[in-house]
Amino acid sequence: MNERKGGTHSDRRPAPARTGAEDAAPAPAPTLAHERYVRLGRDRAVREWSRYEGTAQRDLFRQLRVRFLRRHAREGGWVLDAGSGPGRFTRSIGGPNSRRVALDLSLEMLTFGRDRAEAEPPSHTLMVERVRGDALRPPFLSSAFGEVALLGNALGFEGGAGEDLLSRAESLVAPRGMLVVEIAPGPGERSEYLRRLPPGAVRRLLAAPTAALLPRVKREGFLPVPERHEPEEFRRWTAGELFDRWRAAGWSVRETMAVAPALGPSTSRLEEIAVEPRAWERLLDLEERLGRDSGRWPNAAALLLAAERPSVQTNGFVRDGTSSPA
């Protein structure tokens, strides 16, 4: 999908304070990790983009995220991909008439995302403004966005600054707007029942209705996936922490979903399923239905949450319909 830069577009909601990668200088990097990220080269941007394409497993992870974002998209107005990287999911945030902003510290990430979009064959035009800046110090007005997404476990990788990052993201959401957050509570897991079946048998099994398959999968339980990160690499947020925080502030949690607890790490089975479109659709349905089970959340390698901000709050987020940073 091609992108349209700038242009005139009237909107009921005020535009962000600054847009355009050429106009917004990055905020001072507060940590050494931020400084390294600012200096990333094109090879890192390519690797980040490629994490979600090229294999059935990567396709599964990408499609589940895209479907989640589309279920909670806010149509029209401004929407923000905070810490966008190359923008793999930026165009899945908001609706066809939304004005998208991708915010990232790395100019290389933003440039690569723009180049990728411009190289695609034209289908329909979407507006994406690319802004170089720090999500900890966003160069935008409070309550400026109908939807804000904080993906890629950005909260966890911020470590001790994760609370500040979340507060900044919350403050950017307009009343009745949507916040989508991705965290990594655990190392991941997979279905014990599906793991012990040969790849072809799993594909044939997916011809059955999902409702008939779910009890078998749940009955045999789930096998933890080996830890891929050192525990000190990032903070592991939990769903309960976010639930408590948002409910105390009057937010409504609309959906919580673990990403691919059934077959996410089972490469050979996924490749077998991917060749049959109907089986693939059934797998997506199975993964989503299992992912909404709260028992799958504590060990999820990726957990997606969508929360709606109330129209009026009195706890520091919104007061009398106007906003202020938390």
Task: State percent of the chain over pLDDT 70.
Answer: 82
Question: Phi/psi at 256 (nearest 5 deg)?
Answer: -135, 130
Comparing CA positions, the residue from 250, 262, 131 lying closest to residue 194 is 262
b (16+ CB within 10 A) / e for 86-96: bbbbbbbbbee
Q: At 295, list the tokens.
A: 């028992």
The two structure tokens encoding residue 86: 């190359």
Radius of gyration (C-alpha) of the chain in whole angstroms: 20
CA atoms within 13 A on the CB side of 208: 12
User: What's the Cα-to-Cα distance from 10 to each of 78, 79, 98, 124, 129, rounded to whole Å?
Assistant: 11, 15, 12, 20, 15
Run of H or E residues at 257: strand 252-258
Q: What is the model's pTM?
A: 0.85
**Tens of pLDDT along 2-23?**
444 433 333 344 455 544 443 4
Cα–Cα distance for residue pair 296/288, rounded to 1 Å: 11
% pLDDT > 90, the chain: 67
Domains delineated in the chain: 30-188+225-265+292-311 (3.40.50.150)
Dig out the tokens for 164 from the structure.
């500040």
Whether the Cβ atoms of residue 199 and residue 269 lie closer than 8 Å to each other: yes
| pLDDT tens digit sequence for 233-246 | 788 999 999 999 99
